[in-house]
Amino acid sequence: MNQTNHSPSNRLTDLSALAIDGLPDHWQAILSKPPASTQLARTVAAIKAELAAKATIYPKDPWRALRLTDLNDAKVVILGQDPYHGPDQAQGLAFSVGSHCKAPPSLRNIFAEISQDPLLQTDSLRPMPDPDLSRWAEQGVLLLNTSLTVRDGQAASHAKLGWQVITDAIISAVAKRQTPTVFMLWGAHAQAKTELIQTHGRQHLILSANHPSPLSARRPPVPFLGCGHFGRANEWLEGRGLRAVRW
């Protein structure tokens, strides 16, 4: 297992970070019931074994997205795949890195799309905004990866630890509410959740496009760059009496 030469600030060192008792009550209620609770116990056991084998695992706070965005506050869901696997990057929010980090390529394309969205007033948007997206999370944007941990230097290394059972329960809980919600699904991995969302509620807006990665952001059938998702989301939210997101 890979291990960095220093101790990254975002390294998971304490299994208590995976406990759910410090989460908002609504999330605790979801994660304390099967199948999420059963799978969480297995996932934590697997991570415990990896830590005992001296693996470097990110991020330090896997539940950060749920800490910052309570179930009742969520009005937009952006699905990622798994955390960034480099030191000091992943902070527990999909596509987000710490303020001290350079924005990764996918996040740079996200900012580029926001800056060119004709439905947004972006005069106050800085040329390169803070790559820490906690400001979005605090406005009700649930930035959820489908896997919440990863080994250093090994993308998707925890994809088979059962995290998707847990995050599917989170996605389902959001979709079951009557609150109109925007789901942004970028790339095939995120779009695989379309049926899950639609099973629980047809009152939501699902926006699909290619992944913002430079490898796919300009490719058909629906290029990410030019998709207009951020402006469309705000227009749709405002049309339902909800406050727009300041992207």
Out of 14, 25, 73, 82, the active site residue is 82
The dihedral over CA atoms of 136, 195, 43, 15, expressed in degrees to the nearest 10, equals 10
Clarify whether 168 is annotated catalytic. no
- 3-state SS of the chain is CCCCCCCCCCCCCCHHHHCCCCCCHHHHHHHCCCCHHHHHHHHHHHHHHHHHCCCCEECCCCCHHHHHCCHHHCCEEEEECCCCCCCCCECCCCCCECCCCCCCHHHHHHHHHHHHCCCCCCCCCCCCCCCCCHHHHCCCEEEEECCCCEECCECCCCCCCCHHHHHHHHHHHHHHCCCCCEEEEECHHHHCCHHHHHHHCCCCEEEEECCCCCCCCCCCCCCCCCCCHHHHHHHHHHCCCCCCCCC
Residues labelled as active-site residues:
82
